[in-house]
Amino acid sequence: MYNNSFHDINITSKTFLVTGGAGFIGSNLVEYLLKYNAKKVVVLDNLATGFEENIQPYLQLPNFEFINGTICNMEDCEKACIGIDYVFHEAALGSVPRSIKNPIATHQVNATGFINVLIAARDAKVKRIVYASSSSVYGDSKILPKVENQIGKQLSPYAVSKMTNELYAEIFSKTYNMEIIGLRYFNIFGPRQNPLGEYAAAIPLFLNAILNNEAPTLNGDGEQTRDFTFVENAVQANMKAMFAENINTQGNVFNIAVGERVSLNQLIEILKKLTGASVKQIYREERMGDVRDSLADISKAKTSIGYEPKIKIEEGLKHTLDWFKTHY
């Protein structure tokens, strides 16, 4: 992946911290930064939801450092920020159901951990922070497409934790004169997304089932829609947000998606076409805290940071399928 660069500046003299860099999105960012010869890439990850195998190819590189630590520990954050120019904050406990089951853990990692990273970055005089927010902040708003300045009431502890990030980002940027930009991810998918475990996301779960000739299970009637976004688009957005000039960096947030929506039933049909499978999906009750429909207006990101999603859902699913066949 990453045959085209998403940045115009030379990063060979720049140092980066990727929190959660052994995770799904974080490790894709790490791959990109190292491919384009960043001076140094530091990963801070406690491997709670990330995997060392995601960064294994880089462990011996002279410009790569892995810190096995947690954003919940201030000392780990301070150590990770030493000598760092730019921070990509991807570390989080994902999953709406997980947050409903254990709201304290979600808050500790996503909210308190976020403040720790902000303070460590502030004290290290980091130039800019780009962090992962989530489309879940739109909550019960029925407005489609989702526009950054129109949000509803959050529907889960996870959504509240991400909204908290946005509030702190704005306050920290204004109070301490920091450059902080948030990216509201819409259903990111792609290589390295874990299909196993209780809290796996929809696409890896469905792919894993179909490749094993098992029936995928859908929550509700399958007509709920999502703006599925291939991970390469998210990496592009991170790089463009990090180096965008002449934009408001005081807690500004951008929708990162494709701007197209697909129902889960349509998604299953695409996967069956790509794999040649003939399994039938199973339906069960709707899941608490889930948003019914999601579709992003990405015009702000296009205009402000030059974001232009190149890979649509079917092409993204092909790339993901190729990766899954060799890993699961």
Q: What is the pTM of this model?
A: 0.96
DSSP states of 286-311: PPTT--SB--B--HHHHHHH------
Smallest Cα–Cα separation from 265: which of 305, 324, 217?
Answer: 217
Residue 125 in contact with residue 83, Cβ under 8 Å?
no
The partner residues of 189 in beta bridges, in order of sequence, read 230
6 in a structural domain: no
CATH number at residue 169: 3.40.50.720
Provide the residue-wise pLDDT of the chain in tens; the chain has 328 residues.
767 778 778 999 999 999 999 999 999 999 999 999 999 999 999 999 999 999 999 999 999 999 999 999 999 999 999 999 999 999 999 888 899 999 999 999 999 999 999 999 999 999 999 999 999 999 999 999 999 999 999 999 999 999 999 999 999 999 999 999 999 999 999 999 998 877 788 899 999 899 888 988 998 999 999 999 999 999 999 999 999 999 999 999 999 999 999 999 999 999 999 999 888 898 998 887 777 889 999 999 999 999 999 999 999 999 999 998 888 7
Tokens 């085209």 found at: 4
Q: Which domain holds residue 121?
A: 15-188+230-257
265 in a structural domain: no
175 in a structural domain: yes
Catalytic status, residue 168: no
Distance between CA atoms of 155 and 59, rounded to whole angstroms? Answer: 39
219 in a structural domain: no
Report the number of distinct structural domains present in the chain: 1
158 in a structural domain: yes
Question: How, if at all, do strands 262-263 and 225-226 pair?
Answer: antiparallel
Distance between CA atoms of 76 and 113, rounded to whole angstroms? Answer: 11
Cα-based distances in Å from 17 to 40, 135, 172, 229, 233:
8, 24, 19, 24, 20
User: Where do the H-state alpha helices sit in the chain?
Assistant: 24-35, 74-81, 96-101, 103-107, 113-123, 157-176, 202-211, 231-243, 264-275, 299-305, 313-327
Residue from 32, 158, 185, 307 carrying the catalytic annotation? 158
Distance between CA atoms of 216 and 210, rounded to whole angstroms? Answer: 7
84 in a structural domain: yes
103 in a structural domain: yes
262 in a structural domain: no
